[in-house]
Amino acid sequence: MSEIIVVTGLPRSGTSLMMQVLNQAQVPILQDGVRESDISNPQGYYELEDVKNIVADNSFLDHAGGKAVKIVAPLPIYAKPELKYKMVFMRRDIQEILQSQEKMLLKDQTSEREKFRTIYEFHLKKTYRFLKENNIPFIDINYNELMANPLKSMQQVIEFLGLSSSPEQLAGVVNPELYRNRNEG
Amino acid sequence: MAKKRKVLLVGWDAADWKLCDQLMAEGLMPAFKSVVDRGVRGRLATLDPPLSPMLWTSMATGVRPFRHGVLGFVESNGEGGIRPVSSYHRKVNAFWNMFTKEGLKSNVVAWWPSNPVESINGVMVSNRFHQEKKGAETMEADNWPIAPASVYPEELAESLAELRVHPQEISGQLVMPFVPRAHELNKKDSEETKLKIIAKFLAHSSTVHAVGTELLDTTEWDITAVYHDALDHFCHGFMKFHPPRMEGMDEEAFELYQGVVRGAYVWHDMMLERMLNQIDEDTTVIICSDHGFHSDHLRPKRVPDVPSGPAIEHAPYGVFVAAGPGIKKGEQIYGASVLDITPTLLTLYDLPVGRDMDGKPLLDIYEEIPEVKYIDSWENDTRFGGELVAEDTVDEASNSAALQQLIDLGYINDMELKEGDDEAEVSKEYVRNTIRENNFYLAKSYAAGGKHDECLEIMLEVEDRDKPDFRYLIEIVNAAIKTKRFALAQEYLDFVKKKNLFSDNFVNMLEAKVHIGLNNPIEALKALEAATAQYPESPDVLVDLGRLLNILRESERAKEAYGKALELDPDNAYAHLGYGLAAMSMEDYETALEYFLNSVDRFYHQPFAHLHLGETLALMKEYEMAKRSFEVVIALAPSLPKPYRWLYDLAELTENKEEMEKYRKLLDEINLGEKVVVTGLPGGKLVDVMDHISNAGKSIFAKEDLLGEDFDVFQKDWMNSIEEDMIYVPIAKLGSIPARYSYRIIYVNDAIENVSMYLNERKKFSAGTYNEALIEALERQEGIARVWVGQQPNLDILYIDKAEDINNELMQTFIS
C-alpha cells in the first residue's frame, strides 16, 4: 500500500494551499467538506473532521494509504507510527502566522504574541521530533518562498512525492493575491 | 556467612530536625535518639512541589514525579471524574516491585499512595485501609468493612481488619496527653472538632502501628516499610499553636493546644520504641521524612487560599537516620535527597541501582563503601514484580470519603455550588481545574528537574488569562527566564502589572531577572534595590541581589546581602553558595569552603556549587578532596568541561600519569580548541602591544571600544565564529570567556595612573589629569581580573611589560 501523504504545519502557514496543490495534482484527498471556504481561505480548507479527534481515535488513517490528509502541527504526533507516511511540512514566519490568525479571529492578540509564538515553537519542535524518531520522510516547504517562486517549490514537492504533474500545472494554484499579512516589520 | 540483611524503614511525614533535636535534648524522644546515636543522620532535601504523595512515590522509586506519574493529591479516574491519588497512575517500579523480582520479601504498610495494593512477594496494606468513612457517612466501629483492594494477600484482610482502631474508640483520656486542659474547654463546636481531629489522627496512626507491629512479628520479611502520615496532619492542624506564640494567636487557644505537636512527636517516638523492641540489633533501621515543617519564625502568618496552600508550611528538609550493621556511627551525612532512598535501599541488598534513577545511593552512610552495581533501568526487567490487585474501577463511596478527607485537610478545594448553578457544569469545571492543577505540579516537577522547556510548554497550555492564577504566572515567568525567552517573560510581567496581580516587590524581582538575562545589570540592580527597600525581609530578594552583586563583582556588598538572607533563612542553599562565591573572589578560601559545604549539604544537586567547592579545595592545596568534588561535578553534569581540566591539572600536580592520560583524552573529546587572548588595563601600552602584534602579521579580533562597552560576551557561542589569530578581551569581560576552550593569555601590565591619563585624554573625561574615581575603578577591575586568572584551570598566562617584548623568543613560542 502506498504512503499516506500528510500536509502539516501551523495553522495559517499554507497547509490548505498545499492541499489544493495536491488536489490539482490528482492526489485523492481525505476530506469531508465540513468546514466551508471563507474569506480567510477562499479555496476551502480541505479538512477532515476526524483529524480533530485524532488524540482519541486515529483509525481514520488505516484507510488513508495513497491519499492526502491535512493534519496541523502538533497533531501528527498522534498518528500511528507503524503506518507509512510522507509529510509535507509547511513553514512560514511565525510573526506572519500570528498576524494572519489574529485577522482571521478578528482578535487583537498583540499582548499575547510571545505566548503564542512560544507555543507554536513547541508544536513545531514536537512534530519534528516525532518525524525524526519515527524516520518519517518529510519536506519543508517555506510559504514565503512558495509565494515568491512557486515553480521551484512545486518542483520540490513533485520530486518528493513522485507526482506526475509538471511544476507549471501546479504553480497555477498559487495565487499571490492570497499572500496577505506579510511581515514587513 | 554474613547474616541476611533486614531493614525496618519508618516514614514519618513532615518530621523535622528542629523539633526532633529539641525533644531528644529534653529526653522526650529516647527511641529516636537511640537510633541517631548508633547511626548516621542527615537532612533529606525535599522536591518541588513538596506534596506528600508525589514525594513518597519519589522516595519509593528513586525518580522525579514527572517520571513516576503520581501528581498531587487527586487524579483523573478516566471517566470524567477525579479520585484520590492511587497506585494506578504510578508508571515505574517501586522498591517493593524490585525486591519482589529479586525474591526478597517486603511488608509495606500505608505508603501514600498504595491503593489498590499490589501482589508483591510479602504483604501490602494500603493507605486507605484505615478509612472509616464511606461517602459522607462515618461507619460504626462494629460495622466497618475495609476499603476495597487495601490488603494483599487478601486472606490476611480479616485478621488485620481486627487490628484497626476506630476514632470512636479513642477516649477523651487518650487525647489528654495532647491537650492536658481539655476538661476546661467550653465545648464550643470548633473546640470539640479539634479534639475529634486529634482522636482521628490517633486512631489512624494506631491502626498503621498495629498492622506494622503485627507484620514484624508474624511474617517473614526482608524489609518492612511503615509510613505514618499523622505527624504532617498534626502539624498542619496545630503548629500554629506551638510555642513561641505567634503574633495574633488567641492566648487561650495557645494555652490549650500548644502541646499538641510535641505530643505528636512523643507519640511517634513511643510507636517507634515498640518496633525497635521487636527487631534485633542486626536489623538496619532507617527513619526518614519527605519534608520538614516550619516550627519557628518561618511559620507563615497565613495559608494561601489556593489548592495545596498548606504546603507553604513545609520546610525544605526532612530527616534521615540510618543505623545498623556496616553503617557508620554518630556521623552526619550531607546532600541526601528523597530521591536517594530507593537507590540506597538497593545497595543495602547489593542490588543494582538503575542508571535512569534521579537519585543516588547514599554511600557516605557505610563504614566501608560498597561497590555499587548498576543496570540501565529496572523498567527493562521483565520478571514479575507484583501487579495491582484491582481493575481500574470506580468505587464512588470510598473515593468520595477519601476526597473529603483531603478537602478537610485543606489540600484540595471543595466544589462550590451556588444557588442556581448547574451542578453538572460546576462539577465538570471542578474536574477541569483539578486536572489543570495536576498539570501545574507536573510542570513544577519538570522545572525542579532542570527541564524548563517542558515546564513552560505545559504551563502555557494550562494558563488562562481570563482566570489568572499568580502561581501559574510566576512559574511561566521563571521558566521563560530560565529558557532565555526574555520577551515572553516581559510579556507576562506586563500582563501581571496591568492586572496588579503581584506585589510591586515581586514584579521588581522578576524584572531584575529579565534585565540580567538581557545583559543589563545596572537596570537589574535598580529593580532589585527597589524590591529590597520594599521588602527588606525577603531572603529570596536578598539572594537575587547578592547574585547580581557577585556578577558585578561587588563582593563586599554581595556578602552583606547573602549574610542578611542567611540571618532570615539559615538553610538557604543559594545564599550559602553566593556567600562562598563572594568570599572566593576576595581570596578568603577558608570562608568560601565553609559556605560551599553548607550549600551542598542543604541542596546536593548543584554542579556549580561542587565545582566551586573543588576549586576552593584545589586553591587550598587539598588536592584529594578537590578531586572528589570534581568527580561529583562530572557525575551531576558530565558535559561541563571545567572539572575535567581541573582533574587533569591535579593529576599533573600529583604526577599521576595514568589519570593525566585519562583526562587528556576526555578533554580532547569536549575541548573546542585553544585561543590566544590579549587583555590588560585599557591604556596606551595595551594599544601599543596590539599594534606590534598586527605589525608582526598576526590578526586580532577586537571591538572598537577598549573598555568593552560594545562587547557582548553573553551572546551564546560568541567565540566560535572568531577566526583571527588572537582575541582582545576587555579586562572586565575576562571572567566570561567560555570554558570549553583552553587559553593562552597575554596580560599587558600597565601602571594604573598611565591608564587613567590615557583614558582621560581619549575619552575626554572631565576630571582632568587625576581622576580619582576612575583610578579606583581600574584598581578594582585589575584586582578582580588577577584573582580570577589565578583561579582558573584552563589557561596559561604570560605577563608583558612593554610592547617590544612581543618580539622576544619566549613570547613568540607562547603565541605560536
CATH code of the domain containing B259: 3.40.720.10
Domains of chain A are 4-178 (3.40.50.300)
B463 contacts on A by Cβ (under 8 Å): 115
Strand-pairing partners, residue B799, are: B747
Res A185: pLDDT: 37
Q: Are strands B353-354 and B374-375 parallel, antiparallel or unpaired?
A: parallel
In a domain, B651, yes or no: no
Helix (H) or strand (E) holding A142: strand A138-142
From the centroid of its chain, how far is CA B459?
20
In a domain, B584, yes or no: no
How far is the C-alpha of B86 from the C-alpha of B70, rounded, in Å? 8
Q: Which of B453, B487, B495 sits opposite A111 (nearest CB)?
A: B495
Q: How far apart (Å, rounded) are the C-alpha atoms in residues B593 and B577?
A: 10
Partner-chain residue, chosen from B461, B465, B491, that has the shortest CB–CB distance to A114: B491
Residue among B485, B490, B494 whose CB faces A118 most closely:
B485
pLDDT grade for A43, boundaries at 50, 70 and 90 = low
In a domain, B576, yes or no: no
Q: Search chain A and give the residue with CA nearest B488.
A: A114
pLDDT at B790 over 60: yes
A118 and B492 within 8 Å at the Cβ level: the answer is no
Helix-, strand-, coil-residue percentages of chain B, each rounded to 5: 50, 10, 35
B490 neighbors B481 (Cβ within 8 angstroms): no
Q: What is the pLDDT of residues B226-258, one digit of tens each?
A: 999 999 999 999 999 999 999 999 999 999 999
| Confidence band, pLDDT 50/70/90 cuts, at residue A177 | low
Q: Do B491 and A111 touch (CB under 8 A)?
A: yes
User: What pTM, to 2 d.p., does this model score?
Assistant: 0.79
> Shortest CA distance to A139 belongs to which of A90, A174, A93?
A90
Number of A/B CB contacts below 8 angstroms equals 29
For residue B457, the chain A residues in CB contact (below 8 A) are 119, 122
Chain A partners within 8 Å of B490 (Cβ): 114
> Distance (Å, rounded) from C-alpha B706 to C-alpha B683?
8
Contact B814, B798 (CB under 8 A): yes
Question: What's the confidence (pLDDT) of residue B716?
Answer: 57
Which residue among A111, A114, A119 sits closest to B487, beta carbon to beta carbon? A114
pLDDT digits (tens, 9 = 90+) for B719-734: 777 888 888 988 888 8
- pLDDT tens, B643-662? 888 898 899 888 899 989 99
Mean pLDDT of A99-126: 88
Residue B684, in any domain of the structure: yes
Of the listed ranges A12-16, A69-73, B416-420, the least confidently predicted one is: B416-420
Q: Which domain holds residue B788?
A: 674-815
Least confident of B41-55, B335-349, B535-549: B535-549
Residue A111 forms contact with B (CB below 8 Å): yes
Q: How far is A109 from chain B (nearest CA, A)?
A: 12
C-beta neighbour count of B705 within 10 angstroms: 12
Tell me which of A20-29, B28-37, B348-357, B666-675 is least confident: B666-675
Final residue of a structural domain among B380, B415, B441: B380
pLDDT at B194 over 80: yes
Q: Min CA distance, B460 vs chain A (Å)?
A: 7
Question: Can you read off the three cell numbers belonging to residue A3?
Answer: 504512503
Task: Provide, as residue numbers in chain A, all residues whose Cβ is less than 8 Å from the Cβ of B487.
Answer: 114
From the CA of A150, how many Å to the nearest CA of chain B? 34
Q: Write the CA distances from B279 to B217, B253, B284, B663, integer angstroms.
A: 9, 41, 9, 48
- Boundary-marking domain end, from B350, B365, B380: B380
Say whether residue A95 is in contact with chain B using an 8 A CB cutoff. Answer: no
Where a domain ends, among B350, B380, B410?
Answer: B380
Say yes or no for a CB contact (<8 Å) between B453 and A122.
Answer: yes
- A119 interaction partners in chain B (CB closer than 8 Å): 457, 460-461
CATH number for the domain spanning B769: value is: 3.40.50.300
Torsion angle in degrees (nearest 10) through CA of B425, B429, B430, B436 = 160
Predicted confidence band at B583 (pLDDT cuts at 50, 70, 90)? very high
Residue B294 lies in a domain: yes
A116 to chain B: nearest residue by CA?
A: B460
Query: With an 8 Å Cβ cutoff, is A112 touching chain B?
Result: yes
Question: Shortest CA distance to B14 belongs to which of B343, B251, B242, B353?
Answer: B242
Which three cell numbers mark B678? 590579549
Using a CB-CB cut-off of 8 Å, the residues of chain B touching A114 are: 485, 487-488, 490-491
Query: For residue A120, what pLDDT is reported?
Result: 94
pLDDT, position B709: 66
Residues of B with CB under 8 A from a CB of A: 453, 456-457, 460-461, 463, 465, 480, 485, 487-488, 490-492, 494-495
- B768 pLDDT higher than 60: no
Residues above pLDDT 70, as percent of chain B: 94
Contact between B461 and A119 using a beta-carbon 8 Å cutoff: yes
The predicted structure's pLDDT at residue B1: 44
Contacts of B465 in chain A (CB under 8 A): 112
The residues facing B109 across adjacent strands are B125, B226
Looking at the complex, report in whole angstroms how far the Cα of residue A46 sits from the nearest Cα belonging to chain B: 27
Total domains in chain B come to 2
The DSSP string of B286-335 is EEE-SSEE--STTS-SS--SSTTGGGGGEESEEEEEEESTTB-SSEEEEE
At residue B549, the pLDDT reads 87
Alpha-carbon distances of B158 from B163, B224, B343, rounded to whole Å: 9, 20, 34
Q: Which residue is it, cell 488536489?
A: A23
Question: How high is the pLDDT of residue B170?
Answer: 92
| Closest chain A C-alpha to B385 CA, distance in angstroms | 30
Closest chain B C-alpha to A57 CA, distance in angstroms: 16
Write out pLDDT tens, residues B356-385. 999 999 998 999 989 999 999 999 999 999
Is B260 a member of any domain? yes
Contacts of B483 (CB under 8 A, 6+ apart): B452, B453, B456
* Placement of cell 553534569 in the chain: B637
The stretch B399-423 carries a mean pLDDT of: 75
A111 neighbourhood in chain B, CB within 8 Å: 491, 494-495
What are the pLDDT digits (tens) for B606-635?
A: 888 999 999 999 999 999 999 999 998 888
C-alpha cell at B91: 508508571
Residue A118 near chain B (CB below 8 Å): yes
Q: Among all residues of chain B, which has the CA nearest to that of A114?
A: B488
DSSP letters of B650-701? HHHHTT-HHHHHHHHHHHHHH---EEEEEEE-SSHHHHHHHHHHHHTT--EE
* Nearest residue on chain B to A121, alpha-carbon basis: B457
**Measured between alpha carbons, how far is B202 from B187 in angstroms, rounded to an integer?**
20
Least confident of B481-490, B698-707, B726-735: B698-707
Asked if residue B249 belongs to a domain, the reply is yes
Cβ-based contacts of B453 with chain A (< 8 Å): 122
CA distance B104 to B221: 8
Whether B416 is in a domain gets the answer: no
